[in-house]
Chains A and B, each alone.
Chain A
């Protein structure tokens, strides 16, 4: 009887190896996620800001730009990257207050901005997140044809590649 049945450890060897592989792979993934731990930018929580800033494009996380950038942008809504995005004065104030309070260099936003604002001169008020030195560095390996792809088309279309961007996650 015992001679015909294979030795139990041998029968278990394959599932055990598989399980180890899965655990190892998960640990690797987890390690990667932790390594890129600065890739969470809390999404806009204010419903008015989400509606007004999120109709035409993703409502970009306020921690991705410094307060001075948001202030400049909110003062130029009539020419917002070539479009008229002006809103009622009271709405504009509410949006500006929210963006400034959660900006990447404000108390609430700084913990999330990580290294994204590194290399931005203190007197500069960058308007495009995609022109931040750190952003460019992170995206340097994305080939030109991918940017021109019909599902991407613009560097403002984070969602095309970062499918969880609306929830604040920008891992690869």
Chain B
């Protein structure tokens, strides 16, 4: 093998190892930002809980739109499986384990929290709720 080819191979391997770490960084930054906001809103804030996130994800709410009472209305009952919107479009799985590229763009995450919390809960979600929910998806 040519030395340049070897160098390229080594660079490729290094990149391959670094990518999963890079993909996790924006999600960690998001969680840190939600934690800071949650602590500012409530000094007794004691971290996020994937279990609370699961409850949020599966609970039926009455404050939003009648045809989407829960997150699972569109995302489906299994976070590792696909969901479907009322207009018939498939939604990729939300769990990080099956869809590692999710939650890499903070603006996109915020856009969908804003839209979907309004649709389902009839209000915006709190930083505590967002962090809990994201912890749940990260753990799955």
In the complex, are the beta carbons of B115 and A156 less than 8 A apart? no
Q: At the interface, yes or no: B97 with Cβ under 8 Å from chain A?
A: no
Contacts of A160 in B (CB 8 A): 88
Q: At the interface, yes or no: A84 with Cβ under 8 Å from chain B?
A: yes
Give B88's nearest chain A residue, CB to CB. Answer: A157
In the complex, are the beta carbons of A57 and B89 less than 8 A apart? yes
In the complex, are the beta carbons of B88 and A152 less than 8 A apart? yes
Contacts of A159 in B (CB 8 A): 88-89
Interface string of A100-119 (1 = CB under 8 A from B): 00000000000000000000
In the complex, are the beta carbons of A157 and B87 less than 8 A apart? yes
The complex places the Cα of A84 from the Cα of B86 at a distance, in Å, of: 14
Q: Which of A133-172 contact B (CB under 8 A)?
A: 151-154, 156-157, 159-160
| Interface class of chain B by DSSP | loop
Q: How far is the CB of A67 from chain B (nearest CB, A)?
A: 23
Give B87's nearest chain A residue, CB to CB. Answer: A57
Give A81's nearest chain B residue, CB to CB. Answer: B87
The complex places the Cα of A153 from the Cα of B87 at a distance, in Å, of: 8
Contacts of A56 in B (CB 8 A): 85-87, 89
Task: Choose among A84, A87, A160 the residue with the greatest number of B CB atoms under 10 Å from its CB.
Answer: A84
In the complex, are the beta carbons of A54 and B115 less than 8 A apart? no
Contacts of B88 in A (CB 8 A): 57-58, 151-154, 156-157, 159-160
In the complex, are the beta carbons of A57 and B118 less than 8 A apart? no
Give A159's nearest chain B residue, CB to CB. Answer: B88
Q: At the interface, yes or no: B119 with Cβ under 8 Å from chain A?
A: yes
Contacts of A83 in B (CB 8 A): 115, 119
Q: How far is the CB of A107 from chain B (nearest CB, A)?
A: 30
Q: At the interface, yes or no: A55 with Cβ under 8 Å from chain B?
A: yes
Q: How far is the CB of B109 from chain A (nearest CB, A)?
A: 13
The complex places the Cα of A161 from the Cα of B58 at a distance, in Å, of: 31
Task: Point out the residue from B85, B87, B89, B118 that lies within 8 Å of A84, measured CB to CB.
Answer: B118
Interface string of B63-88 (1 = CB under 8 A from A): 00100000000000000000001111
The complex places the Cα of A58 from the Cα of B88 at a distance, in Å, of: 8
**Cβ contacts A to B, 21 pairs, < 8 Å:** A54-B89, A55-B85, A56-B85, A56-B86, A56-B89, A57-B85, A57-B87, A57-B88, A57-B89, A58-B88, A83-B115, A84-B118, A87-B111, A151-B88, A153-B86, A154-B86, A156-B87, A156-B88, A157-B87, A159-B88, A159-B89
